[in-house]
Amino acid sequence: DAGITQSPRHKVTETGTPVTLRCHQTENHRYMYWYRQDPGHGLRLIHYSYGVKDTDKGEVSDGYSVSRSKTEDFLLTLESATSSQTSVYFCAISASGTEAFFGQGTRLTVV
Amino acid sequence: GENVEQHPSTLSVQEGDSAVIKCTYSDSASNYFPWYKQELGKGPQLIIDIRSNVGEKKDQRIAVTLNKTAKHFSLHITETQPEDSAVYFCAAFSNDYKLSFGAGTTVTVRA
């Protein structure tokens, strides 16, 4: 999968707890993205990064923050998890900002 | 922002027949249109893409067409096989380095 590793692959957490998901790439691509996938909504962009320490919001960024201190790592943090954040989260990378390659996903359940 | 609509949401075809999925987009500045295939439990996989300076592109049994004037693009799969059963997503890329996705089409190929 284009040198992308997401961790953890599965997580169950309690409402109100912070959660951090990690995306690690070995391709040295400039752009990295976090999407969430929910039935009937396709893939919706949460946050993206266009370089180290350069990030911007997507269409569903409320309740999420990101950090990119190294080219290879893009972290997604749910500051205080809610049941509405139960979803499958995908990381994607792109060299040019167009062709994007996805990781295997993280299934997060908030109980 | 960009809005991508995808139809139909489900499609059942007989093995050997053709499948067509259609998408429309709203931002006339969008210039890159990828298609992704997602199998159960996996991340989306880029299968074909088309740029705004091209009207049609083929890769073996799959083809994409783009009508910039009407702002719609389509995926055509010919001689469908059981392994074509999956969820397919269209997407549109505009100048802000974001991919906007359609809601997806579940394709089932009947043997």
pLDDT at position B97: 72
**Cβ–Cβ below 8 Å for A42 and B104:** yes
Question: Mean pLDDT over residues B64-77, rounded?
Answer: 96
Residues of chain A in contact with residue B89, where contact means CB-CB under 8 angstroms, are 42-43
pLDDT at residue A1 is higher than 60? no
Chain B partners of A90 at a C-beta cutoff of 8 Å? 43-44
Least Cα separation, residue B32 to chain A (angstroms): 7
The average confidence (pLDDT) of chain A is: 95
Give me the percent of chain A exceeding a pLDDT of 70.
98
Counting other chains too, the contacts that A36-40 makes at CB distance below 8 Å and 24 or more residues apart are A36/A60, A36/A85, A36/A87, A36/A88, A36/A89, A36/A90, A37/A87, A37/A88, A37/A89, A37/A90, A37/A105, A38/A87, A38/A88, A40/B103
Q: How large is the average pLDDT for residues A81-91?
A: 98
Give me the amino acid identity at B94: S
pLDDT computed for residue A2 by the predictor: 65
Q: Do B43 and A103 touch (CB under 8 A)?
A: yes
What tokens does A67 get?
């950090």
Q: Is the pLDDT at B65 greater than 90, yes or no?
A: yes
DSSP string, chain B: ---EEEE-SEEEEETTS-EEEEEEES-TT--EEEEEEE-TTS--EEEEEEETT-SEEEETTEEEEEETTTTEEEEEE-S--GGG-EEEEEEEE-TTS-EEE---EEEEEE-
Contact state of A100 with B97 under an 8 Å Cβ cutoff: no
Cβ <8 Å between A48 and B89: no
Least confident interval from A24-38, A39-53, A64-78, B35-49: A39-53
How confident is the model over B77-98, as pLDDT tens digits? 999 999 999 999 999 987 777 8
